[in-house]
Amino acid sequence: MKRYSTLIPLALAFLMACGDPSTSTDSSTPEMTEETESESSSRTTYTSVRLKTDMSLLNEEEKQVIPYLIRAAQFMDSVFWLQSYGDPETLLSGLSEADVDFARINYGPWDRLDDNAPFMEGVGSKALGAEFYPKDMTQEEFEAWDEPNKKSLYTLIRRADGGELVSVPYHIAYARQTDGAAAMLDSAASLTTDDALKNYLQLRAEALRSDDFMDSDRAWLDMKENHLDIIIGPIENYEDKLFGYKAAHEAYVLVKDMEWSARLDRYVQFLPDLQAGIPVDDVYKQDEPGRDAQLNAYDVIYYAGDCNAGSKTIAVNLPNDEELQVEKGTRRSQLKNAMKAKYDRILIPIADELITEEQRESISFEAFFGNTMFHEVAHGLGVKNTINGRGTVREALKAQHSALEEGKADILGLYMVTRLIEDGQWTEASLEEHYVTFLASIFRSVRFGASSAHGKANMLRFNYFQEKGAFTRDEKTGRYRVDMEKMAEAMNGLTAKILMLQGDGDLAGTETLMQEMGSIQETLAADLARLEEAGIPVDVVFEQGTQVLGL
Ligand code: ZN
């Protein structure tokens, strides 16, 4: 029997009456069509979006380069399958069409947005270390193993013929794919007349062949005027849930939105002034805000691997290497067309269901874009080090750090936008649009579950706002209304609370706050169930590639 969400008892009853659908592959009869529909609605629901950009802004040379970048990205998709599950053919052959689609979204037989619950019979649960480590390796064996490269981001752990552990560099373990991708990047480099892009592509090809990414990361940060871009390689370590040591392969092929990027660039200069104005005691804002952040907007034209699995990333802050961050800063990339897709397909329908009629017109894409963007920038504000000698905030708050830091970025992002609107520096959307859209976004984010850092941060904020009267819920309609004044007060209150917990390195206080405010109450759970019943998708899946682009 497959696993079904308890939120949809009707679908479950229907399936039980019909027997196990997985044993049948016949989809031609009307009964089976119905069964397939109710079956897919019991899993995390995705909506399909065509990933496009304004092709009239690209010249002939760029149109020739793009297919090579996409082919390079596709190799990352193959590597990520191996890291997440193994050979996809062994899984996909013999599955029904719906199961194949769902397995492709998840890169394996586990539902990523349902805590990796298996959605097929007989596959068991997903290994915490995915395919980065041997399945029979214990944590103790790994810890006791004397091998300098075992914790490297870029090695795979395997067993040699004699049974002992060995550490295999990615460029050897995945040589066919990484060499293939490198060759595509070299071809793209030979076609482009943009010298900075050419240099980066060549260095990145070398990096894929050697697993030494520093020079190419530097070249990437130095590249400022390029119209095309590709983020490619082993980058984030979320897929390794055993230790978090191993990076997973992914790629984004990007077209920079030159006009928006120029507009965003100016906000970095306001950071010191914004830091000074945060409504909290001076000792909690003594750190210098990071000024060396670049802020750009892009259309993504291809997602591959890790970033394409389950929930789709809409903003990226890279590189991850902390030494390099200190040396050269970071680039915060806003993926505008993907944001727009989530806004249109998910946020608007959520607002229709849960936001009071009178405030519905205050939902706007400009506000959604602004809130997401300032969230990224706000990670640079506040305190990085505790004020009482407890070390960095990250060290002091341990496992609680990510959720609180995400909560900080959300609330300080809203604070930034409030200040910039007051000062006449941000005119894309009104304050009411930002606040109402912010509330609707909380509903979108809590659907990812309270087990993720972002989900928990959103729950905390929702409960705090509710307690402070920042919004009210109409009993009759079940819809929510923002109280502008109380929302601003609650925003300031929560900002101070979070920054003090961080600055004091108050682990016990953070745990208490999360316990009291980090979970979903009954009324909200019922409201979220309404979204599910209305068939509102949780995330998007992309139709993408040269054909979709018309190349
Ligand atoms: Zn964040």
Q: Which amino acid is at 231?
A: I
Distance (angstroms) between ligand 1 centre and the Cα of 407 equals 8
Distance (angstroms) between ligand 1 centre and the Cα of 93 equals 38
Distance (angstroms) between ligand 1 centre and the Cα of 250 equals 19
Looking at residue 130, the DSSP 8-state letter turns out to be T
Distance (angstroms) between ligand 1 centre and the Cα of 375 equals 6
Distance (angstroms) between ligand 1 centre and the Cα of 170 equals 28
Distance (angstroms) between ligand 1 centre and the Cα of 160 equals 40
Closest CA to 547 of 35, 50, 42, 22: 50
Write down the pTM of the prediction. 0.85
Q: Could you give the CA distance from residue 452 to residue 368 in angstroms, rounded to a whole number? A: 21
Distance (angstroms) between ligand 1 centre and the Cα of 320 equals 13
Distance (angstroms) between ligand 1 centre and the Cα of 427 equals 23
Distance (angstroms) between ligand 1 centre and the Cα of 414 equals 13
Which pLDDT belongs to residue 381? 87
Which pLDDT belongs to residue 2? 32
Distance (angstroms) between ligand 1 centre and the Cα of 353 equals 26
Which pLDDT belongs to residue 368? 96
Distance (angstroms) between ligand 1 centre and the Cα of 409 equals 6
Which pLDDT belongs to residue 527? 94
Distance (angstroms) between ligand 1 centre and the Cα of 30 equals 46
Distance (angstroms) between ligand 1 centre and the Cα of 549 equals 30
Distance (angstroms) between ligand 1 centre and the Cα of 331 equals 14
Distance (angstroms) between ligand 1 centre and the Cα of 135 equals 32
Distance (angstroms) between ligand 1 centre and the Cα of 513 equals 19
Which pLDDT belongs to residue 321? 86
Tokens of 74: 């596709």
Instruction: Please name every residue paired with 330 in a beta bridge, in sequence order, or none if there are none.
Output: 293
Distance (angstroms) between ligand 1 centre and the Cα of 366 equals 19
DSSP-based three-state secondary structure for 159? strand
Beta strands (DSSP E) in 72-154 are: 110-111, 117-118
Count the Cβ atoms, other than its own, within 10 Å of residue 305. 29
Distance (angstroms) between ligand 1 centre and the Cα of 384 equals 14
Residues 6+ apart with CB under 8 A from 550: 55
Which pLDDT belongs to residue 29? 30
Distance (angstroms) between ligand 1 centre and the Cα of 369 equals 14
304 alpha-carbon distance from chain centroid: 13
Tokens of 363: 């939902």
Give the DSSP H or E segment for 501: helix 484-504
Distance (angstroms) between ligand 1 centre and the Cα of 392 equals 18
Distance (angstroms) between ligand 1 centre and the Cα of 243 equals 21
Which pLDDT belongs to residue 19? 28
Digits of tens for pLDDT over the chain (551 positions)?
333 333 322 232 222 223 232 323 233 333 333 333 333 446 888 999 999 999 999 999 999 999 999 999 999 999 999 999 999 999 999 899 999 999 999 999 999 988 899 999 889 999 999 999 999 999 999 999 999 999 999 999 999 999 999 999 999 999 999 999 999 999 999 999 999 999 999 999 999 999 999 999 999 999 999 999 999 999 998 899 898 899 999 999 999 999 888 888 788 788 888 999 999 999 998 877 766 778 899 999 999 999 999 999 898 989 988 788 878 888 989 999 999 999 999 999 999 999 999 999 999 999 999 999 898 888 888 888 899 999 989 889 988 888 898 899 999 999 999 999 999 999 999 999 999 999 999 999 888 766 667 778 889 999 999 999 999 999 999 999 999 999 999 999 999 999 999 999 999 999 999 888 888 889 999 999 999 999 999 999 999 999 999 99
Which pLDDT belongs to residue 291? 62
Distance (angstroms) between ligand 1 centre and the Cα of 454 equals 8
Count the Cβ atoms, other than its own, within 10 Å of residue 106. 23
Cis (ω within 30 of 0) for the bond into 319?
Answer: yes
Q: Could you give the CA distance from residue 519 to residue 460 in angstroms, rounded to a whole number? A: 7
Backbone angles phi, psi at 155, to 5 degrees: -130, 150
Distance (angstroms) between ligand 1 centre and the Cα of 314 equals 11
Burial class (CB in 10 A: 0-12, 13-18, 19+), 550: exposed
